[in-house]
A and B are shown apart, each in its own frame.
Chain A
Amino acid sequence: MNSTTVMKTFAETNIVDAVVIGSGAGGAPLAAELARNGKTVVVLEAGPAFTAMGHTPDEIAARELYWLHERLSAGTNPQAFGGNNSGTGLGGSLLHYGAFMPRMDARDFHLHTETGKGVDWPFGLDELLPYIERVESFIGVSGPTHYPWDPERRYAYAPPLANSAALKMREGCDALGLRHADGPAALITRDIEQPHFGTRHGCANCGACHQGCRNGAKSGADNTWLPMAVAYGAELRPGCFAHTIERDSSGRVTGVVYRQNGVEHRQKCATLVLAAGAVETPRLLLTNDLANSSGQVGQNYMTHVSTQVWGEFDEDIRPNRGYPSLTITEDMMRPKDADFVGGYLIQSLGMMPATWGQNLARSTTTRGPAFARALAGYNRSAGMGINGECLPRPENRVTLSNEKDAFGIPKPLIEHSYGPNEWAMHNHAANLLSRMWEAIGAKDIRVIDRAAHMIGTCRMGTDAGSNVVNPEGRSFDIDNLWISDHSIFPSAAAANPALAIMALSLRTADAMLKT
């Protein structure tokens, strides 16, 4: 936050216009927008407030940026959480996200109309585009001067330096005749004065985006939306775990009970916005038995098919250096030879050593000197990864387990299994990416089957019987309850999600301001 700004505070007995639970991609833009329009806002964030220079590239210590309340993972593709799929602290998962910032493909809004599978969004890209452009211009996104898949598009910042993996992927694309470009990245490449925050420096190519950016180059919520929210009078309360939603006799929300430093507090509010992410938001609704007349809370849990393919090269690659995932190709958004619906993006991958080693360790059963040799190959390794559509399936969902956490609240159980579409996409990508690496002489090519991101669980749509919120993010059941996070996505879409979550967040704020 700008050191000259004094944060306004509210008494718990004040009935604030809005309490927002969660300060990440879904919560922060909306909080800023409501405050900018004169609303009184309190943001409850379970995690702490971090300082940028206090971040450490040490992957074990950087776990402080993860959501560490235990989640139980089941299904035939049980998902890893922690560093893979969670985040906490003022800024949410954007504190340690990879900042890869593609826009959603227009076709992904209408997958069902196009293919008869999946679900359509209640609106198209046209509706979201103005918000997308506002997000890009406010937080700072870098990209190429010419984006092959959308020649009209412009980015305000030049791309960062291409690291070894980015250069290798370019070669791989050239070898197979695929187009490629520097991908859109939510980082700035020259120093700027960020309104309400202060100086942000240009990207230093340190490579530790997933451990927290130390110089403010990465565009998160902590250095953009949240300082703006504070400047317009919002109060941010870190270290506050919200657990109980209180209502009056008519069923409307009246306040939130949260725990801070072991003490229970109650904040009264006129409106409540849940922005706790696609696992914690349904968990809050399920534990409070709220907003679930559709029976859809926790259902339709989705991920992204995030297959990775790694190879070893003869050169010294040093995959920890440089912005990790610069090169993109969107040529597989609707591949001609696809035996699946939807599509996927491919991006280059650098990685920090323990994360890379974890992937290797969990995807193989090598042992002994061969295992040691594989780990010793770190500095010669480059990767590519995809981000692809994942269809909603009834068996994939978030429910409450029988185990309680330290707060006495049931731990969430997340069931996740790939269906035929996800496996077909995985196989297609594994084959293509392996061929790209082979074509440029990579050795020891290794396919890692993994899924990323937490999507769905409080679906947005027009029909109250099969959706949790309406197309603006408002609960069908409780008119002063809104949801603004990754849980409202009707379908996964291929693009990395943060841009669309932030755009939807601004759009929901607009809708709230109109009511």
Chain B
Amino acid sequence: MSVCPAARSKNWLPESRPAPYRKRFGHAGYCIFAASGRRNHHRRRTLKPKHRRPQCPPPPDRPEILDSDHLSARTRDILTSRLSAPETQPRTLSLQAYAVLDALLPVLLPLDEILPPGTDINMTARIDAALSGPRDGWRFADLPPDAEAWEAALLTLDDVAAEQHGIRFIHLAPELRGTLLDAMMTGQLGLDRDGRLSIPQMARWAGDLRGEVVDCVMSDPRVQQALGISSSLTGGDTVFQGFTEVGPDSREDFEPKATAPLAQMADSRE
């Protein structure tokens, strides 16, 4: 199988320097193969490192909704800030845990059918940074505080990978990473030792992981644009427009149309 150069370099994730690769290349990788419909062509992680620059140009990065006058200045600033990656990575997790998170996200929630090829929403870095910011005001009593729980959970996955397969989580083929995630979510994966999470704790944490990922994805302006979501466009600062049409099949002109392959069905009926 031929592999695109961008994918080749980013598929190598040395434990000592996991973060910057994503900033440069993005995990979805903009490349000629993306357009060819070979969706899983970036999933291999067992390749040898090659430090080559990607040959594909960066994708257009500014979603149109950001320029709508149905957006308040404050909301525009909030959404725009999500277009760039947090400066220091990792901020909360250890390098090892960060690398595990980075390797599990595309298996948990691949975005290549939602976002335009080459768009990277820096999920790993944003989640890691969010773990150091204000949290959402509660946690399961049987889990340690969030940052600690995430570190322990990700290291648990890494240890289980090593115990079951003899290699670290990040080197597992996507299918095997997926199997471990499934085991975690259905209450079959955990470790009873210090600094790691037990089986019931891992199942609980899986909910937190899924919730955090969805927060990150659904609040991203590129995702909102691609899925045709108008939730940020409630009204501007001088005129608070709201919506005049709210029934089925009544998209207003200022609302985005879905562009993601996965979400075009509704719009195609208009």
Which residues in A have some Cβ–Cβ distance to B below 8 Å? 53-54, 56-61, 63, 66-74, 78-83, 86, 161-164, 167-168, 201, 203-208, 214-215, 313-318, 320-322, 352-354, 356-358, 360-362, 365, 367-369, 371-373, 375-380, 401, 413
The CA of A164 and the CA of B136, in the complex, are separated in Å by: 30
The CA of A205 and the CA of B252, in the complex, are separated in Å by: 13
**B182-A365 in contact (CB<8A):** yes
Closest chain B CB from A409 CB (angstroms): 15
Q: Which residue of A lies closest to B264 (CB)?
A: A376
Contacting residues, chain A, for B141 (C-beta < 8 A): 72-74, 78, 401, 413
How many residue pairs at the A-B interface have CB separations less than 8 Å?
227
Which chain B residues (225-243) contact chain A, with CB distance < 8 Å?
Answer: 227-232, 234-235, 237, 240-243
Interface residue B135 (Cβ < 8 Å from any Cβ of A) = yes
Contact among A80, A82, A83, A204 for B242, CB-based, below 8 A: A204
Interface residue B181 (Cβ < 8 Å from any Cβ of A) = yes
**B72-A56 in contact (CB<8A):** yes
Interface size class of B (residues with CB under 8 A): 35 or more
- A sample of 25 cross-chain residue pairs with beta-carbon separation below 8 angstroms, ordered by A number, consists of A57-B75, A59-B215, A63-B137, A66-B136, A71-B139, A81-B137, A161-B246, A201-B240, A207-B243, A214-B235, A315-B269, A316-B270, A318-B246, A353-B229, A361-B211, A367-B108, A367-B109, A368-B107, A368-B108, A368-B110, A372-B109, A372-B111, A376-B227, A378-B263, A413-B141
**B230-A316 in contact (CB<8A):** no
The CA of A318 and the CA of B72, in the complex, are separated in Å by: 20
Closest chain A CB from B221 CB (angstroms): 10
Contacting residues, chain B, for A72 (C-beta < 8 A): 138-141
Contact among B78, B178, B260 for A367, CB-based, below 8 A: B178
Q: Chain A at the B interface: mostly helix, strand, loop or mixed?
A: loop
Closest chain A CB from B242 CB (angstroms): 3
Closest chain A CB from B43 CB (angstroms): 10
Closest chain B CB from A173 CB (angstroms): 17
Contacting residues, chain B, for A317 (C-beta < 8 A): 248, 266
**B138-A73 in contact (CB<8A):** yes
Closest chain A CB from B83 CB (angstroms): 14
**B214-A360 in contact (CB<8A):** yes
Given A357-B218, A361-B211, A365-B186, answer yes or no on A73-B140 (Cβ-Cβ < 8 Å).
Answer: yes
**A352-B186 in contact (CB<8A):** no
Contact among A78, A162, A163, A318 for B230, CB-based, below 8 A: A318
Contact among B219, B258, B263 for A60, CB-based, below 8 A: B219
